[in-house]
Structure 1
C-alpha cells in the first residue's frame, strides 16, 4: 500500500533487485526533494504503479523473473507521460535502443549515482545540462564488437544459432563470447 501523498514533490518509482543499491539511491533522491517508492521486482513495481502512476521511474534492466524491459513497456502503456530511465550493469546498444523504443527516456549504465540519473533525465528531456561532459570517447574495439554481437543477438530474438550464422561465427564461439563480462569503454 502506498503512503498518501501530501507534497508536491515529484513521485519517483525506483525498481532494482539489489536492495542495498536501491535504498542508497532512494535516500539520495529523497535528499534532493523526490518522493520515492521502491520495488524489488517487476510485479511489485506494477502493483505500485496501478495504485498511483509515477511521474518518473528508474528501472533496472536485469532482475530475477521478468525483465526491466517488460516493466518499461507496461509502465509506458499505463501512462505514457511517465518518464522512464533504464539502469543496468549489462548495457549494450541493442538493449538501449530497445528500451527507448519501448518508452524509456534514456539509458544509464551502472555504476551510477543519483547525479548521473538526473543528468540522463535532463538529456532525455532535451534540457541543456552544464554537468554533462562534452568529451565523448570512442568505445574500444572489444566494446564495439560486444555491442555489435548484442545487437545481432537482439535482432535474432535471442536465438544464438541464428546470431552465430549472421556473425559468421561457430555457435560455441559465440556462446563463449557471451559468457564474458562486457569490456570497459
Structure 2
C-alpha cells in the first residue's frame, strides 16, 4: 500500500549547523514531525543546498566555526523568497535579533530551544512562555534574566565553565562569582 503523502507535499527544511550532534538531533526531531531535512555546516554549502533543494524552511545557526550566517540571510532570501528563515543562536542579543530581521530572517530563537517552540516558530506561530501555575507570571529583574541566560548557556555547554565564560565574553572567575550569587525571586 502506497503512502498518500507525495514528495512534493513534504515540507523541505535546510539545517545550517556546525555542531554535528545538535544538527543530527534537530534532523531526527524534525523528520519525526514530517520534515524532509538536509543539513550542512558552512555558508557555501548552505547557499548551494538552498539552490539545489529549494527548502520551504531554513534553520540557521548564527555562528559557524569561523563564519557568521547573518551574511547569507539576504542571498538565501533572494534564492527562496517564500521560505521561512529562522536564526538559532546561543549568542542571543537584541542587536543581532534586529539585524537578522532587517536582513530578511522571519524569526530568531535562542538555544537551547524546545520542540514545541521550534515547530511553532517554523509554522509562523508565536508561542507564549509556559506560565507557572504557582506564580502569577511575575516580572523578572535584570539579575534574574541574566541568571537564566547564564544557566541556558551553561546547559548548552554541558556544564563547562570555561566554554560558557568564553561564549558569554566574560572571565571564568567572574562567571563563577555570578553562579554563586543566585538572585532572589521577586
TM-score (norm 2): 0.67
Q: Distance in 2 between matches of 1:72 and 1:102?
A: 6
Indicate how the Cα distance of structure 1 residues 66 and 77 shifts in structure 2: closer, same or farther if over 3 A, else same: farther
**Is 1:133 matched with 2:123?**
no
Instruction: Compute the displacement of 1:70 (Å).
Output: 1.3
Instruction: Compute the displacement of 1:138 (Å).
Output: 4.1
Instruction: Compute the displacement of 1:115 (Å).
Output: 2.3
Instruction: Compute the displacement of 1:61 (Å).
Output: 0.3
**Is 1:101 matched with 2:98?**
no
Q: Distance in 2 between matches of 1:136 and 1:29?
A: 33
Q: Within 5 A, what are the aligned runs for 1:57-72?
A: 57-72=58-73
Consecutive unaligned residues in structure 1, runs of 5 or more: 145-177
CA contact (8 A) 1:119 1:132 kept: no
CA contact (8 A) 1:105 1:121 kept: no
Q: CA offsets, 1:35-80, max 9 Å, x none?
A: 1000111111111011132110010000123311112222112122
Q: CA offsets, 1:113-158, max 9 Å, x none?
A: 3322113334xx3x465x65364844625868xxxxxxxxxxxxxx
How many residues align structurally? 146
Q: Within 5 A, what are the aligned runs for 1:75-114?
A: 75-114=76-115
Q: Within 5 A, what are the aligned runs for 1:112-123?
A: 112-122=113-123
CA contact (8 A) 2:57 2:122 kept: no
Indicate how the Cα distance of structure 1 residues 128 and 111 shifts in structure 2: closer, same or farther if over 3 A, else same: closer
CA contact (8 A) 2:120 2:126 kept: no
Q: CA RMSD in A?
A: 3.1
